[in-house]
Amino acid sequence: MEAQVERGEVRSGLTIAGAYAYKLRKSLFAQFANKVKAGEFSKEDVARASRELNTFLYHILVERLKLDKLDVVRINVGYEVHGRELRWDYDNLRIEAYKKIPKEKIDEAIIEAVRHMKEIIEGRYIVEEVGKSITGDSLYKIRLGDLNVGMLEAIRLNDEILLKGALTSPEPLIIEKVRIELYGREFLEVLSEKLNEIISKGRKISREEAEETIRALLSIVKVHSH
């Protein structure tokens, strides 16, 4: 006989967009306090589920809806408990955003994000060459699902590459002089393989700084002629 599935819901209440992650995390830990005390769940299990949810919500609220941290939101999301695993019901996620954004646009953003859920949560980046600078260095666009989230400039130094650039998602980062060895392999193949490692070496900066760096790199692209 299949074990009964336990269901629940976390709610942020009305809060500024800059505080939703804290409110939802607090709500989740309160609901799972007894399970943690009884050893049915660990604090790490709850924290992991909280991180997954907030990564997904950041993508919708900031990347797609372009909410400012002082805009007001209300978020309700259900979950199911399967053994020691908490699964979010993203399909029935409800967001109210108090900004001049039509509900249709919010629903469309949720549907699109659900469609690319695995790429967003797992950080499945796609790298695409967009051109070269006037000095001949290659420039690459980084996408997460169908969303542009960063730019990298690649400077060739014999059998290694020096990388500089920035990303805006899942958090704003600047990449400063990260070197990767090619060992005779194609650069794009190595870059795609090592991108998460490269990103982990990034330095946290403000969103404005990251966007400014990306704009600066885009401005030096000399588009390929066809």
Strand-by-strand arrangement of the 147-157 sheet = 125-132, 138-144, 147-157, 160-167, 173-181, 203-204
Do 23 and 53 fall within a single domain? yes
Q: Is the pLDDT of residue 224 over 80?
A: no
Predicted confidence (pLDDT) at residue 160 exceeds the cutoff of 50: yes
| Domain end marker among 106, 121, 136 | 121
pLDDT at position 123 is 65
145, 202: one domain: yes
Domain membership of residue 86 (yes or no) is: yes
CA nearest to 140, candidates 119, 122, 159, 165: 165
User: Do 114 and 132 fall within a single domain?
Assistant: no
- The number of domains in the chain is 2
Q: Do the domain assignments include residue 183?
A: yes
What residues have CB less than 8 Å from 143, skipping those under 6 apart?
125, 126, 127, 128, 149
**Confidence at 225, pLDDT banded by 50, 70, 90:** very low
Choosing from 121, 136, 171, the residue where a domain stops is: 121
Closest C-alpha to 32, from 20, 44, 22: 44
If asked whether residues 102 and 157 sit together in one domain, one would say no
Q: Which of 121, 155, 182 is the last residue of a domain?
A: 121
Residue 89 shares a structural domain with residue 176: no
pLDDT band at 3 (very low <50, low <70, confident <90, very high): low
Structural element, H or E, at residue 156:
strand 147-157
Same domain membership, residue 130 and residue 115: no
Give the CA count within 13 Å in the CB-facing half-sphere of 23.
Answer: 19
In a domain, residue 226? The reply is no
**Whether residues 110 and 23 fall in one domain:** yes
**59 and 78 co-located in one domain:** yes
| Secondary structure tally for the chain: helices H, strands E | 7, 11
Confidence band for 226, pLDDT divided at 50, 70 and 90: very low
Average pLDDT over all residues of the chain: 86
Does 64 reside within a domain?
A: yes
Report yes or no on 224 lying in a domain: no
Does one domain contain both 94 and 156?
A: no
Residue 198 lies in a domain: yes
Q: Does residue 51 fall inside a structural domain?
A: yes
pTM metric for this prediction: 0.52
CATH of the domain at 20: 3.30.470.50
Q: What percent of the chain has pLDDT over 90?
A: 40
Residues 201 and 183 in one domain: yes
Residue 13 and residue 116 share a domain: yes
Q: Could you tell me the residue range of the domain that residue 137 belongs to?
A: 124-219
* Judgement on whether residues 165 and 94 belong to the same structural domain of the protein: no
6 exposed, middle or buried (CB, 10 Å; 0-12, 13-18, 19+)? Answer: exposed
